[in-house]
Amino acid sequence: MLKSFNKKMAVFTAVLAGTAALGSASIASAADSIKIALAGPVTGPVAQYGDMQFIGAKMAIEQINKAGGVNGKELEAVVYDDACDPKQAVAVANKIVNDDIRFVVGHLCSSSTQPASDIYEDEGVLMITAASTSPDITTRGYELIFRTIGLDSMQGPTAASYIINAVKPQKMAVIHDKQQYGEGLASSVRDEVKKAGINVALYEGVTAGDKDFSALIAKLKKEDVDFVYYGGYHPELGLILRQSAEKGLDVKFMGPEGVGNKDISAIAGAASEGLLVTLPKSFDQDPANARLVEAFKDKSEDPSGPFVFPAYSAVQVMADGMKLTSSEDPEKVASSLRANNFKTPTGDLGFDGKGDLKDFSFVVYQWHADGSKTALTK
Report the distance separating Cα 363 and Cα 280, nearest Å: 6
* Residue 24 binds another protein (CB under 8 A): no
DSSP letter at 69 equals -
Residue of 23, 24, 44, 135 that binds another protein (CB under 8 A): 44
Q: Which of residues 217-236 bind another protein (CB under 8 A)?
A: 218-219, 221-222, 224, 235
Shortest distance, CB of residue 334 to another protein, whole angstroms?
34
Segment interacting with another protein (CB under 8 A) among 99-107, 212-220, 285-293, 346-354: 212-220
* Residue 215 binds another protein (CB under 8 A): yes
**177: which residues sit within 8 A by CB, 6+ positions away?**
183, 205, 206, 207, 208, 231, 232, 233, 236
* Residue 263 binds another protein (CB under 8 A): yes
Torsion of CA 120, 121, 123, 126, to 10 degrees: 60
Peptide bond into 107 cis (omega under 30): yes
Shortest distance, CB of residue 255 to another protein, whole angstroms?
16
Question: Count of CB atoms within 10 A of residue 312's CB?
Answer: 30
Question: Helix, strand or coil for residue 199?
Answer: strand
Residue of 18, 68, 209, 287 that binds another protein (CB under 8 A): 209
* Residue 72 binds another protein (CB under 8 A): no
The dihedral sign for the CA sequence 131, 136, 139, 142: negative
Shortest distance, CB of residue 271 to another protein, whole angstroms?
10
Segment interacting with another protein (CB under 8 A) among 101-109, 134-142, 184-192, 199-207: 199-207
Q: Which amino acid is located at 173 in the chain?
A: A
User: Where do contacts with another protein occur on this chain (CB under 8 A)?
Assistant: 1, 5, 8, 12, 19, 43-45, 47-48, 178, 204-207, 209-212, 214-216, 218-219, 221-222, 224, 235, 238-239, 242-243, 246-248, 263, 266-267, 269
